[in-house]
Amino acid sequence: MQLFLKIILPCSVFICSQCTGANELTYAGCPLLLSQLSPDSVEWIFLTTRSGQVFDKGFSHRLHESMNEVFEPYFIRALQDHPHMSFEKMLRDQHAMAVSGKDGKSKYWGASHTWANYIFANYARQGRFRHESYRLFPGMLWKNWINPQTKLNAEIPFELLSGNTLPQELENIPTKFFSRRTFLKSTIFKRGQILYIYPPIKAGPFYLKAMEVKMERILDAAKRQRSLNEMASELSDYVQLGANGHVFNLANYSIFMTQMNAVLVYLGHPGLSPKMLDYHSMVENPATFRKRFAGELVKGSSLLSAR
C-alpha cells in the first residue's frame, strides 16, 4: 500500500511555546507543515520510522512535539529573515524535547535497548553534544558493524570491496576528522560486514558547523524558490553529515531525517521513509549517496503524481 501525505491546511498560524510568551507566530501564506500530521497517523509513522512500525510511542510523540515547537518555528522564522534562535540552540532544544520531553523526565535508550544500556547508562543525554558528554574520553572510538544483507539491501560500495580502510570525505570537514569504513572480507569475526568508525569525539563542532552551512543553503534556496532538484544535494548532504557526525550519543538520524522531511513537505513533496538511508550515507561517498537520495525523491514525486 502506498502512503501519501494528507495534510489539511488550517490557518496561517501555529503556536510555538519557544516564541516570546508563547505568542502566536504568523507568516504569509499557509505552508504545509509536517507536524500537522497526527503523531499516531500512518503518514507520520511512515515518515519517521524505518519499517512503518513504532517501537517507542513516547519518543514518536515527543519527536512530533519537538518538530512543532522547535524546528518548524526555527525554519519558518529563518525563511522570513526573522531568526529567533541559532542553529546550535535549535538542535539542542529539539534533541532535549524529543528524548526527554518538556518535563525532562523521559529517557530515550535507542532502538538497541539491552542490558548493556543499563550497565553503561547508555541513554540519550538531552541536548548535550557527544563532544561535551564524553570530553574526558577524547580517544574513545565509536564503532558500528554494518551488515550489508540487512542494512544495505546487499549493496556494497565498489570502492570498499578491496578491503582497504577508506575515509568518508565530507565537505567542510578536516581530513583528520573523517569517519572510516572497511569491508571485512578476510576476517573470521564479522566477516562480510562493514566496520564503520565514527569521527573522533572532538570532531563534533566541525560537523555541527558543516551542518549549519548546509541548513543555511537550504533556507536560501527555499527563499529563492529553487526547484527541489536544485536543492536535492544540500538535503542529501545534511542527512549524510548528521548520520556520520553523530553529534549526539543517541537520536541523531531520527531527528535529522525528520527535519529534512519537514523541509520536503514544506516544498510540496510527500516526504521519504527513513528506511536505511543513514547506513547508506555512512558507507557511500557523497556523490553516490546524492544519487540514491535523488532517486528516492523521484520515486516519491512519481507516487504523488500518480494519485
Which pLDDT tens digits describe the chain residue by residue (307 residues)? 344 444 433 333 333 333 332 233 333 344 578 999 999 999 999 999 998 888 889 999 999 999 999 999 999 999 999 999 999 999 999 999 999 999 999 988 876 556 566 655 678 899 999 999 998 888 888 999 999 999 999 999 999 999 999 999 999 999 999 999 999 988 888 899 999 999 999 999 999 999 999 999 999 999 999 999 999 999 999 999 999 999 999 999 999 999 999 999 999 899 999 999 999 999 999 999 999 999 999 988 765 555 4
- pTM (2 d.p.): 0.88
Beta-strand relationship, 143-146 and 166-168: unpaired
195: three-class secondary structure by DSSP: strand
Residue among 278, 271, 235, 238 nearest 47 (CA): 271
Q: What is the pLDDT of residue 56?
A: 87
The length of the chain, given as a count of residues: 307
Task: Quote the pLDDT of residue 140.
Answer: 86
Which residue in 12, 15, 64, 80 sits closest to 259, CA to CA?
64
Cα(178)–Cα(241) distance, integer angstroms: 11
Give the β-pairing of 24-26 and 166-168: unpaired
C-alpha–C-alpha distance, residues 258 and 98, integer Å: 11
Q: What residue spans define the domains of the chain?
A: 1-105, 140-247+276-307
| The predicted structure's pLDDT at residue 235 | 98
The DSSP H or E segment spanning 302 is helix 286-305
Specify the pLDDT at position 130: 95
Place of cell 578491503: 163
